[in-house]
Amino acid sequence: MKKPVDIYTQMNHIHKMLKKGILVTAQQGGQVNPMTISWGNIGIEWNRLIFTTYIRTGRYTHKLIEETGEFTVNIPMTENVGKILGFCGSKSGRDVDKIKELGLTLEEGRQVKVPGIKELPLTLECKVIYQQLQDPDAMPAQFREEFYPQNVASDYHSANQDYHTMFFGEIVDCFLIE
Ligand SMILES: Cc1cc2nc3c(=O)[nH]c(=O)nc-3n(C[C@H](O)[C@H](O)[C@H](O)COP(=O)(O)O)c2cc1C
């Protein structure tokens, strides 16, 4: 069951959980692929409420979002999701079916084709309205050195050669899976 949620009542919770890790999930051709993130923003542009996720270009999730233009954000309401966040933050959907391996429960989407995940029940449904690759020359040199030292290839989860694409997802629905 999906309980409608006023997202403004959840902002503190979302930010608190984001710091520890939440999921961004994409889907293509029947494959549902969650990935752990701890960078993100909720804000307003063009009078739309937007979740922005920052994804390195080499991630499988990057390819899925770029090709489908949709994702869900899956936020835990409890603290006991360390195993899920660890697995989804270190394995690639190119190699494993993370949903199957973890036995996660999917909940059909409302406004997007991508499902929510019952174990991380607070769900934002997002449609990409803008995307842009971050420009290395426009960031402090210190960040280039810290986050992009170019010594781990892009097929490793600790990849550091690829820069981040900002995907701006308009939040078209928000609910709690019960
Ligand atoms: C706590 C945590 C936070 C992460 N945050 C991000 C992030 O914001 N952006 C990103 O590109 N990768 C991030 N990662 C790495 C991806 O989750 C990881 O590389 C994942 O295996 C990619 O999955 P995929 O290949 O199926 O897309 C994070 C990993 C962890 C453990």
CATH number for position 157: 2.30.110.10
Please, which pLDDT band fits residue 151 given cuts at 50, 70 and 90? Answer: confident
CA of 49 to the centre of ligand 1 (A): 24
Judge contact between 2 and 112, C-beta under 8 A.
no
Decide whether any atom of ligand 1 lies within 6 Å of the 24 Cβ. Answer: no
Alpha carbons 3 and 31: distance in angstroms, whole number: 25
pLDDT tens for residues 11-41? 999 999 999 999 999 999 989 999 999 999 9
pLDDT tens by residue, 42-99: 999 999 999 999 999 999 999 999 999 999 999 999 999 999 999 999 999 999 999 9
Domains of the chain: total: 1
Answer whether 122 contacts ligand 1 (Cβ < 6 A): no
For ligand 1, the distance from its centroid to the CA atom of residue 65, given in whole angstroms, is 14
Cα separation values, 106 from 40, 93, 95, 131, 173, Å: 23, 16, 20, 27, 16
Whether the CB-CB separation of 24 and 53 falls below 8 Å is answered with yes
Is 27 close to ligand 1, i.e. is its CB under 6 Å away? no
Domain span holding position 117 = 2-177
Distance CA(73)–CA(128), nearest Å, equals 12
For residue 131, give the amino acid letter: Q
Ligand 1 atom index nearest CA of 91: 21
